[in-house]
Amino acid sequence: MTAYDVETGDAVHPGNPVTVDRYTGGARINHWITAVSLVLLALSGLSLFHPSLYFLTGLFGGGQITRAIHPWIGVVLFFSFLGLFIRFWRANLWIADDGTWLARLKDVLTKHDDRLPEVGKYNAGQKMVFWGQSLLIIIMIISGVGIWDVYFADYTTVETKRLAVLIHAAAAVAMICIWIVHVYAAIWVRGTIGAMTRGQVTGGWAWRYHRKWLKELIGKA
Amino acid sequence: MALFEFELPNPDTNNPKMAFGEADLVRRSASSVPEPARKLTSVAKLIDVSKCIGCKACQAACLEWNDMRQEVGTNHGVYDNPEDLTPNMFTLMRFAEWVNPETQNLEWLIRKDGCMHCEDPGCLKACPAPGAIVQYSNGIVDFVHENCIGCGYCVKGCPFNIPRISQVDNKAYKCTLCSDRVAVGQGPACAKACPTHAITFGTKDEMKKHAEDRIKDLNSRGFKNAGLYDPPGVKGTHVMYVLHHADKPEIYANLANDPRISPLVEIWKGAAKYVGLAAIALFAAIGVVHHVVEGPNRVSGEDEESAKKLAGSGRR
């Protein structure tokens, strides 16, 4: 029986260095569709959020087109993220060690990874990013449909739309902040980005940051 | 002048002083405008509900002047036609039947609905497209369609539920107070067409004075709560009503009692804008500072060796 957080396609290849398969081609394509959608949504959404960013509508071909395609990109993101959710939810289930990891956030940020409990496929921070974005995307799609007036204007009252647009903006800000954490962590922890580009990390990377997962993969857990 | 107590004279259309334009903007959506060099006289349309006979000449005139056509609809059992404001129909007679509890009389209240041209315009504040909604120093709030992106934020900003988004060109439409006519010294088309002069147009001061006379007249005829509807919650409007029951605006087909820009819109277009961008900037800044202070988190050769040892001695 495999551990809860070992996913399909995860595998270790001995060598110099040891390489570890972390994401399948499908997972990576799924991730990058989500990533591109999220960036486009952030740019188009922000352009309508603050006047100083209205110029960003130029990237999409003007205000009218930005207004028209933003919700459609949102639909793409929703279904794309749904794919990620189905792939990753199990490995992101919260366990007792995650609380310990989180309590030692200071050690995380000061690179004292040796003082942390051994981490499975995802650490507590990654799990929070996962669940945070999952929840926020549900909020975004519901509030977004509420203000998608081209098709759904008649289904909500103006007062509901006012609430929806405020929630949509607030949730979007939260999503962008979480996205910054996600991207920053991938940059800060060197060797991470390869997981989503080539699908592989080195054995040392897995040893240092996700030792429990590596041990599970090797079968020594 | 004998028949009607207030008649709008035909103004001199060649008077260049009447013209107004870009230089007279006091507000421009999602952008700022320089302080205008001159201040136009504040104008207003006064709608005396007590004099309205519900003939809809104002609606016809509005369609004519704005070159709009409203599709023939279906009868919904009321006189309102069309049923609601539309992207083509900028003004609408709303018919309400009300039994006065004091007299037991059935009163037929007919209110000409349309943009109120708020001094504090919620539509303009909500609009994200620079220059799609403008306000002139004479008080007229106008939509500039070439800048409109059809997002419908104006609908959310408006305390009177007035703007309508066209499904044809995805742009917002509403009463312009005939800004193009006013610019050449003409009154709005609806006011010109009104057979009972229930609709009058002039400077806001003139209209208030005119309203005072009308209210006095109504008071003398038993309407003790007659009054002017110029709601302070939106800092007054440039379309005002004389109501026989000014204490109960809601009986006039749900005319807003104490309208104001929704607090949700105020937060969304106020604090949220700044707090939101500040939060995003803060997260990005923390990332940069953290990286500068801590440097990258790298895998050591030791880690790789440990992995090798683990993998090498594995059962796989």
| Minimum CA–CA partner of A158 in chain B | B156
Query: Is the CB of A1 inside 8 Å of chain B's CB atoms?
Result: no
| Cross-chain residue pair A203–B161, CB shorter than 8 Å | no
CA distances from B14 to A14, B11, B18, B20, B183 (A): 91, 9, 9, 13, 11
On whether any CB of chain B is under 8 Å from the CB of A14, the answer is yes
Please answer yes or no on whether B297 and A113 come within 8 Å at the CB atom.
Answer: yes
- Residues of chain B contacting residue A18, judged by C-beta atoms under 8 Å apart: 304, 307-308, 310-311
Helices A124-146/A158-188 angle, 10° precision: 150
The token pair at A58 is: 């130029």
Q: Which residue has the higher pLDDT, B9 or A132?
A: A132
Whether residue B111 contacts residue B249, with contact meaning beta carbons closer than 8 Å, is answered with: no
Return the ∠ at Cα A213 (arms to A211 and A214), rounded to 5°. Answer: 65
Mean pLDDT of B285-305: 97
Chain A: closest CA distance from residue B152 (Å) = 7
Q: What is the pLDDT of residue A2?
A: 62
Question: Which residues neighbour B278 within 8 Å (Cβ) at sequence distance 6 or greater?
Answer: none
Chain B residue at shortest CA distance from A111: B297
Question: What is the mean predicted confidence (pLDDT) over B292-307?
Answer: 96
Specify the pLDDT at position B17. 59
Q: Is A19 on the interface with B (CB under 8 A)?
A: no
* Burial of residue B199, with CB atoms counted within 10 A of its CB: 0-12 exposed, 13-18 middle, 19 or more buried: buried
Least confident of A149-153, B71-75, B149-153, B155-159: B71-75
Neighbouring-strand partners of residue B240: B46
Residue A37 near residue A73 (C-beta atoms within 8 A): yes
Q: What is the mean pLDDT of chain B?
A: 93
CB count in 10 Å sphere of residue B140: 25
- Indicate yes or no: CB of A204 within 8 angstroms of CB of B130: no
The least confident of A211-220, B4-13, B117-126 is B4-13
Question: A202 and A15 in contact (C-beta within 8 Å)?
Answer: no
- DSSP element (H, E) containing A74: helix A63-88
Strand partners, B239: B45
Identify the pLDDT of residue B12.
Answer: 63
Residue B18's pLDDT is 60
Query: Which of B14-18, B265-269, B281-285 has the least mean pLDDT?
Result: B14-18
Instruction: Write down all domains in chain A, each with its CATH number in brackets.
Output: 18-218 (1.20.950.20)
pLDDT of residue B165: 97
Asked whether residue B316 carries a pLDDT value surpassing 50, the answer given is no
Pairing of strands B239-243, A19-21: unpaired
Chain A nearest-CA distance from B117, in A, is 19
pLDDT at A195 over 50: yes
pLDDT at A104 over 50: yes
Q: What is the pLDDT of residue B229?
A: 98
Reported as a pLDDT band with limits 50, 70 and 90, residue A177 is very high
- Which H or E element spans position B227? strand B227-229
Tally the C-alpha atoms within 13 A of residue B179's C-alpha that lie toward its C-beta.
23
Please give the Cα distance from B187 to B177 (Å, whole number): 9
d(CA A162, CA B267): 10
Task: Report the pLDDT value the prediction gives residue B8, as an integer from 0 to 100.
Answer: 60
Q: Which of A68, A173, A204 sits opposite B299 (nearest CB)?
A: A204
Neighbours of B37 (CB within 10 A): 8
Q: What band does B6 get if pLDDT is binned at 50, 70 and 90?
A: low
Exposed, middle or buried, B238 (CB in 10 Å: 0-12/13-18/19+)?
buried
Domain extent listing, chain B:
16-261, 270-312
What is d(CA A99, CA A117) in angstroms, rounded to the nearest whole number?
10
Cβ–Cβ < 8 Å for B176, B15: no
What residues of A act catalytically?
182
Q: Which amino acid is at B308?
A: K
**Dist. CA B17–CA B13, nearest whole Å:** 10
**pLDDT band, very low/low/confident/very high, at B21 (cuts 50, 70, 90):** confident
- Out of A51-55, B2-6, B262-266, least confident range: B2-6
Distance from CA of B279 to the nearest CA of A (A): 7
Q: What percent of chain A has pLDDT over 90?
A: 95
Residues paired with B135 in a beta bridge: B27, B141
The single-letter code of the amino acid at A185 is: A
Predicted pLDDT at B3: 44
Highest mean pLDDT among A68-72, B4-8, B13-17, B19-23: A68-72
Q: Residue B315: pLDDT above 90?
A: no
pTM recorded for the entire structure: 0.93
Confidence bin at B10 (pLDDT 50/70/90): low
d(CA A114, CA A213): 15
Do residues A71 and A148 make contact, with C-beta atoms less than 8 angstroms apart?
Answer: yes
A53: left (phi over 0), alpha (psi -120 to 50) or beta: alpha
Closest CA in chain B for residue A50: B273
CB-CB under 8 Å, A218 with B310: yes
Under a CB-based contact definition with an 8 Å cutoff, are residues A38 and A29 in contact?
A: no
Q: What is the CA radius of gyration of chain B?
A: 28
Q: Please give the pLDDT value at position B265.
A: 98
Give the residue among B19, B202, B170, B174 at the shortest CA–CA distance from B92: B174
β-sheet bridge partners, residue B241: B47, B229
A17 preceded by a cis bond (ω within 30 of 0): yes
Residue B14 has pLDDT above 70, yes or no: no
**Is residue A178 within 8 Å of B283, Cβ to Cβ?**
no
Phi, psi for A11 (deg, rounded to 5): -160, 155
3.30.565.10, 3.90.1150.10, 3.30.70.20, 3.40.50.720: CATH of B16-261:
3.30.70.20
The minimum CA-CA distance between A75 and chain B, rounded to whole Å, is 17
The whole-angstrom separation of Cα A18 and Cα A156 is 56
Q: What confidence tens digit (pLDDT) does each residue in B185-240 have?
A: 889 999 999 999 999 999 999 999 999 999 999 999 999 999 999 999 999 999 99
